[in-house]
Chain A
Amino acid sequence: MAGRPGGGAKGLDAAAKAWQAAASVLDPEVPCVTIADLGILRSVEIESGVAVAKVTPTYSGCPAVLAIELSVEAALRGAGFDARVERVISPAWTTDWITAEGREKLRAFGIAPPEKAANSVRALFGETIVHCPKCGSENTSRVSEFGSTACKALYRCNSCREPFDYFKCI
C-alpha cells in the first residue's frame, strides 16, 4: 500500500504519527479527556510495519475497555497503519498517571480530579479533602463511594450546593 510507513529513519516519524492517532481517542465514559490524558495509553510502537498500541484498563471490570481498544485500532487504521492493540495489566494503572492537562480538562468538565491521598483500608468514612470543581471549596461531602462509572465517586459541595463526580484516587 502506498504511503505505508516504513522502517529506518522513517520509523520514528511513523511511531510519532501512530502515537498521535491513538492518543487522540477520547475516553467513551469521560469524553472530555483523551486516553493519553488519562495515562491508559502506555505506548505505541511500530513492529514489522504494524502499529502496536498498549493500553491498560483503569479498573479490572471497566466496561469501556473493549470500546477503547476498538477505538484505538480504528484510529490507527484511519491513520493508515496496520494495527494491533495489546492489553497490559502490569504495572497497574494509577490515577497518578493522569497528566496535568488531563486533570485541568476534568476540572473544567465538572469532574473533580483525583487528589493524592493514602487509600487506607481501615480509614472508614474516609476524610480525603476533595475540592469542588465549580467553586473550589474544600467544604464538600461524599454522597456515594461509587458514582456513574467505576472510576468515579459522587460528591456534593456544601458551599455552592452543586453535586459533582470525583475521579477516585487509586
Chain B
Amino acid sequence: MAAPGIPTADREKLLEFLLRLADDHLILGHRLSEWCGHAPMLEEDLAMPNMALDLIGQARALYAYAAEVEGEGRTEDDFAYLRREREYRNCLLAERPNGDFAHTMLRQLTFAAFMEPMWRAMTASSDATLAGIAAKAVKEVAYHIRHAGEWVVRLGDGTEESARRMKAAAEELAPYVGELFETDEVTEAMAAAGVAPDPASLRQEFDRTIGAVFVEAGLAIPAAPWAQSGGRHGRHGEAMGYLLADLQYMQRTYPGAVW
C-alpha cells in the first residue's frame, strides 16, 4: 500500500509506469491467445495459451496495483477493457500482428529477453508490491525465453523455407526493438526511486540473450532501418484498433458483464 504516502507527481509517474508494463503484458497476452485453436501442433496449442495466461496474470496484478495507486475507484477491468486506443501505453512490438509462427516466436523471444532482466532487477524494487509481482514473473519469463528461443533456433536452423521465414520475421520486427529501451521522465523517475531499472541499462543483457540464440539459429541480427516509436505515448499502429475491438467487444456490448 505504497500509494497514499506517495506525492502526487510521483504517483502519476508510477501510475504511468504501471500502465505501460501492464499494457505490454495484456496486449501481448491477447495476441498469443489468438493462436488458441490455430497452432500448428497440439503442443503449441497448449504452450501459447499457457504463456498468454502468464502474461495476462501478470497484467492483472499490475492493473490491480495501478487501480490502487490511482485511488479513484477504477478496477483492473476498467483499465483492461474500457480505455480508448490512445490511452494504452504498450510498446508497439506487443501489438504487432501474429503473422506466421516465426513472427510470433521471435516477437515472444524479443519481449521476454527484454523483460527477464527487467523483472530480475525489480525483485529488489523499493516498491514492495512490484517486488512481489516480479519475484513470480521472473520465473515465468525464463520459460518464455527458453520456449521461444528453441523455436527460433529450430526454424532459423531448419529448412530453407523455415529459415527464410525467420529471417523475414527478424527484418520485420527489427524497427520495434529500440522502443523497449527508450528513456523518458517516467523511466528516469522510476530508476531514481529504485522502483525499476532504467530500460536503457538492460540493452547489453538483451543483446547477449538474443545474440546467443541467433548464433545458434544461424541468423544475422538485422540492422533496424529506423526505430519506430510512439506506443508509450498512445500512438499505435493500425493493427491496434482491430485488436481492441476484439478484446473489448464483450464489455462494450454488455457493459459491466461479469462471470
Q: Measured between alpha carbons, how far is A119 from B140 in the docked complex, in Å? A: 10
CB neighbours of B57 from chain A (8 A): 57, 59-62
Contact with A along B115-149 (1 / 0, CB 8 A): 01000000000001001110111011011011101
A119 pairs with B139, CB closer than 8 A:
yes
B149 pairs with A124, CB closer than 8 A:
yes
B136 pairs with A60, CB closer than 8 A:
yes
The answer to whether the Cβ of B85 comes within 8 Å of any Cβ in the partner chain is: no
- Among A59, A119, A145, A147, which residue has its beta carbon within 8 angstroms of that of B147? A145
With contacts A125-B150, A146-B51 taken as known, whether A61 is within 8 angstroms of B58 at the C-beta atoms is yes
B54 pairs with A61, CB closer than 8 A:
yes
CB neighbours of A60 from chain B (8 A): 53-54, 57-58, 60-61, 133, 136-137, 140
A61 pairs with B132, CB closer than 8 A:
no
A92 pairs with B139, CB closer than 8 A:
yes
The answer to whether the Cβ of B182 comes within 8 Å of any Cβ in the partner chain is: no
* Shortest beta-carbon contacts, A-B, top 8: A61-B57, A90-B132, A60-B57, A61-B53, A144-B43, A92-B135, A146-B47, A146-B50
With contacts A60-B61, A61-B55, A150-B54 taken as known, whether A90 is within 8 angstroms of B145 at the C-beta atoms is no
Stretch at the interface among B5-13, B167-175, B209-217: B209-217
A92 pairs with B53, CB closer than 8 A:
no
Which of B61, B139, B150, B209 has the largest count of A CB atoms less than 10 A from its CB? B139
Contact with B along A156-168 (1 / 0, CB 8 A): 0000000000001
Residues of B bordering A, CB below 8 Å: 43-44, 46-47, 50-58, 60-61, 116, 128, 131-133, 135-137, 139-140, 142-143, 145-147, 149-150, 153, 209, 212-213, 216
Instruction: Considering the complex, give the chain B residue whose CB is closest to the CB of A119.
Output: B142
Q: How close is A68's CB to chain B, nearest CB, in angstroms?
A: 14
With contacts A90-B132, A121-B145 taken as known, whether A59 is within 8 angstroms of B140 at the C-beta atoms is yes
- Among A89, A90, A126, A143, which residue has its beta carbon within 8 angstroms of that of B146? A126
CB neighbours of B147 from chain A (8 A): 145-146
B136 pairs with A124, CB closer than 8 A:
no
- 20 CB < 8 A contacts A-B: A59-B136, A60-B57, A61-B54, A61-B58, A89-B132, A90-B128, A90-B135, A91-B132, A92-B136, A120-B142, A121-B145, A125-B150, A144-B44, A145-B47, A145-B147, A146-B46, A146-B47, A154-B43, A170-B139, A170-B143
B53 pairs with A63, CB closer than 8 A:
yes
Q: Measured between alpha carbons, how far is A123 from B149 in the docked complex, in Å? A: 10
Instruction: Considering the complex, give the chain A residue whose CB is closest to the CB of B150.
Output: A124
Q: Measured between alpha carbons, how far is A32 from B145 in the docked complex, in Å? A: 31
Q: How close is A117's CB to chain B, nearest CB, in angstroms?
A: 12
Instruction: Considering the complex, give the chain A residue whose CB is closest to the CB of B145.
Output: A121
Contact with B along A35-72 (1 / 0, CB 8 A): 00000000000000000000001011111000000000
Contact with B along A100-128 (1 / 0, CB 8 A): 00000000000000000001111111100
Instruction: Considering the complex, give the chain A residue whose CB is closest to the CB of B147.
Output: A145
Which of A93, A126, A145 has the largest count of B CB atoms less than 10 A from its CB? A145
13 other A-B residue contacts (CB within 8 Å) besides A119-B139, A122-B209: A57-B57, A59-B136, A60-B54, A60-B60, A60-B140, A61-B52, A61-B53, A61-B54, A90-B132, A121-B145, A121-B146, A124-B153, A145-B146
